[in-house]
Amino acid sequence: MSIIRNALATGLLLSSVAHAADVIVKMPNLNQKSLSLAGFTVKEALVPSLGIYLISDSNKSVTASLAAAEKLGAEGVMENSKMQLRSRATPNDASWSQQWGPQKIGAAAAWDIGTGGNNTDGDDIVVAVVDNGTDINHEDLKANIWVNAGEIAGDGKDNDGNGYIDDVNGWNGYNSNGTIPAGMHGTHVSGIVGAEGNNGKHVAGVNWDVKIMPVAASSGDTAVVLRGYNYVLEQKKAWLASGGKKGANVVSTNSSFGVDGAKCSEAQYKVWNDVYEAMGQVGILSAAATANQAWDIDATGDLPTSCESNYIISVTNTTKEDKIYRQAGWGKTHVDLGAPGTDVFSTVPGNQARNLTGTSMATPHVAGAVAFLHSVASPAFTALSKSQPAKAAAELKKIMLSTVEPLADLKGKTVSGGRLNLQKAAEQISRY
């Protein structure tokens, strides 16, 4: 016997208003006559083949009606509610009207399919924001910051035995400790990936619900960068090896940093490509920002977006007018797609939000999209992401690039010739 109250309202994001004494019951072994004898009026046989009726008794309160139906042997009884659909297309976040970016990538329609959260197996989905740190106490981010369940804060021990002391929320590659600085840049990037959506505050991330793992390691210093990426790599390996009991299910890194004009093939930078490949092998895509310069990076080089790894998705900055921003790079061979990056409103430290411009802002739309797509993907895709994580990552990238919205200004200047389209990609991966 179960009493379900407003279960639908929770699951489908509906707001409910109680309706006078109407009760829905499922009682396949009883008929309308027995209900009448018990004092109920049968208002409608909702699903007759399953024995689901809408009934009411004007002399009873809703609670008394539920109890009476239960006594009659109903399998499931629930208070009927007048459901009012609240469109996901317009979240109630205070600054939603300023968020032109999500609107350009079809996020409103994509949010009718899902709003982030877990995959079909119920696993957390994690984005590693490799940047200068994230304000983990920001009121619009706090709920979506990854927490290492096996670690105890501030005891100076490596409680979960993963080789990192006090890594409660991520890692600081500058100081090799678990203290995450509240960087302005990384906080803004984090909000684009996954500021809590529909909470009335600030902005809605591409994911309303996601786990953000802040890794403070944006740098041109290869040692710092490798420290950061290695943390991400080891967490994902542990997650796969333990069947989800340890580590973290990182599906994307966001790398909104780089070295202008650097060639990935140069001796000192080759290891960057090696680490993107290694992360790809465990199912991690790396969304990477190309140069904030009006350059063809196929010719000038750029780190990391000129690296050859197929697990990098390199991103340029598009405007409200559907153009490449005047100071953003392109490259027919090495820049995969565009995403909104001009005047992007997102979170900054101290419970604030503001506009920033750059490929740095475009890229987290893509990293966020990778996580979002895992959350709406079919069970078959979720299974593939565990049995063959590298293949799943490559498939997901292929879907993202094949579903872009073609833009004239990106044609011949990017691999895909278009801008990220979250809705179309979501539709494809949900049927994978």
What gap in Å lies between CA 33 and CA 22, rounded to an integer?
A: 18
Give me the helices (H) in 72-173, please: 100-104, 107-110
Q: Residue with the closest Cβ to Ca ion? A: 93
> Considering the rule CB under 5 A, would residue 167 count as an interface residue with Ca ion?
yes
What gap in Å lies between CA 79 and CA 208, rounded to an integer?
A: 29
Cα angle 341, 353, 420; round to 5: 25
Nearer to Ca ion, 61 or 176 (CB): 176
CB of residue 128 vs Ca ion: minimum separation in angstroms?
16
CB of residue 158 vs Ca ion: minimum separation in angstroms?
4
> Considering the rule CB under 5 A, would residue 202 count as an interface residue with Ca ion?
yes
* First vs last C-alpha separation in the chain: 37
Residues 88-107 within binding reach of Ca ion (CB under 5 A)? 93
> Considering the rule CB under 5 A, would residue 201 count as an interface residue with Ca ion?
yes
Q: Which residues contact 89 (CB under 8 A, 6 or more apart)?
A: 108, 109, 111, 112
What gap in Å lies between CA 392 and CA 21, rounded to an integer?
A: 50
CB of residue 390 vs Ca ion: minimum separation in angstroms?
26
Sole binder of Ca ion in the list 90, 177, 199, 430 (CB under 5 A): 199
> Considering the rule CB under 5 A, would residue 234 count as an interface residue with Ca ion?
no
Residue linked to tokens 């498939």: 395
CB of residue 167 vs Ca ion: minimum separation in angstroms?
5
Number of neighbours of residue 36 by Cβ within 10 angstroms: 12
CB of residue 424 vs Ca ion: minimum separation in angstroms?
25
> Considering the rule CB under 5 A, would residue 260 count as an interface residue with Ca ion?
no
Nearer to Ca ion, 178 or 181 (CB): 178
Q: Which of these ranges, 42-50, 160-168, 348-356, 372-380, lies near Ca ion under the rule CB under 5 A? A: 160-168
The answer to whether the CB of 410 falls within 8 A of the CB of 335 is no
> Considering the rule CB under 5 A, would residue 158 count as an interface residue with Ca ion?
yes
Binding mask 168-197 for Ca ion (x = CB under 5 A): ---------------------------xx-
What gap in Å lies between CA 244 and CA 348, rounded to an integer?
A: 32
Residue linked to tokens 């063809």: 296
Binding region for Ca ion (CB under 5 A): 93, 140, 151, 158, 160, 162, 164, 167, 195-196, 199, 201-202
